[in-house]
Amino acid sequence: LMSYVFAVLRPETFAAIAPVAGVRWFNYEGGTIPETPARKFPILHIHGTSDSLVPYNGGFSFRRNWQPVETVVGNWADSNGCSDIPLVEALPDIDDSDRSTVDLLTYEDCDTYLDVDGNQVPAETLLYRVNGGDHNWPGDFDSWPNDPDFLPVNYDISASTEILNFFDRHTLPVPEPSAVVFLVCGMLLTAAVQIRFRRNSLSTSFLGQCRGYGRAFRQPGSAVSSLNLVVVSAFFVSARVARAVP
């Protein structure tokens, strides 16, 4: 639940979220908080279809009227510019004694965001549907199995592993560079050559981001606006010179 809220309220702080067994209920905080963030925001959600606390298909539970999981994730898919209908993949039933299986729902063709290295990265929107799973953490052998109210636990996937791999694929986005940014980057990269300023952590970070913009501009389908063509030639001249600096 709170990861959804943090993503909406602090999209500049979090690169991606991966909620497990939790969604927002209807009319959360009186409807004052939007359902989705103001930017393209990667999400991985894991949820059991037999969740006894937060029902997969929505409805009343524990004095709350929960939204259906696939409705919530579908709203994020729409916000991320993904396809309306997800690709459904039945994952291998590795442990046939856990009384559950997992389907991976992948919303394809999502919009992209620009990362700090200048790469266009799709805003992944994934849903792991644990068929027969309850309100627990798949792959957990320690805590959840000790609570008989939330069995069975699925062992075909490890929620922790899937989440860590997902987070490894995403970083905080950088804004689309404007013409002014390109001009400043060109001046900065030129200064790196002409006066060989001391490369502390701050200047190195700026240089890296500027070079990232350059790489992004050269990629097909770049998010960089064509208006920047006015100054981009000067930027590339400076960047090529700066590349020769050891």
- pLDDT in the model for residue 223: 43
Q: Is 128 helix (H, G, I), strand (E, B) or coil?
A: strand
In this prediction, residue 172 carries a pLDDT of 86
Does residue 238 register a pLDDT over 80?
no
What pLDDT score was predicted for residue 222?
44
For 90-143, the pLDDT digits (tens) are: 999 999 999 999 999 999 999 998 887 778 899 999 999 999 999 999 998 776
Q: What is the pLDDT of residues 46-57, one digit of tens each?
A: 999 999 999 999
Compare 45 and 214 and report the one with higher pLDDT.
45
Tokens of 139: 């792959």
Is a pLDDT exceeding 60 seen at residue 150?
yes
Q: Which residue has the higher pLDDT, 32 or 120?
A: 120
* Helix %, strand %, coil % of the chain (to 5): 35, 15, 50
Statement: the pTM of the whole predicted model exceeds 0.85: no
State yes or no: pLDDT of 81 exceeds 50: yes
Q: What is the pLDDT of residue 2?
A: 86
pLDDT digits (tens, 9 = 90+) for 180-190: 555 565 565 55
Q: What is the pLDDT of residues 8-25, one digit of tens each?
A: 998 888 999 999 999 988
Residue 230 has pLDDT above 60, yes or no: no
What SS3 class is residue 56?
coil
Query: What is the structure's pLDDT at 201?
Result: 43
The confidence band for 175, taking pLDDT boundaries of 50, 70 and 90, is: low
Summarize the confidence of residues 70-96 as an average pLDDT: 96
- What is the enclosing helix (H) or strand (E) of 66? strand 64-66
| pLDDT at residue 20, rounded to an integer | 95
Distances (CA, A) of 35 to 10, 224, 232: 13, 28, 37
Per-residue tokens: 155: 């062992």
CA distance 85 to 87: 7
Give percent of the chain above pLDDT 70. Answer: 68
Query: CB under 8 Å to 155, separation ≥6 — which residues?
Result: 94, 95, 98, 138, 139, 141
First to last CA, the chain: 48
Report the pLDDT averaged over residues 51-76.
93
Residue 185 has a pLDDT of 59
CA-based angle 16:114:9, to the nearest 5? 40
pLDDT for residue 152: 86
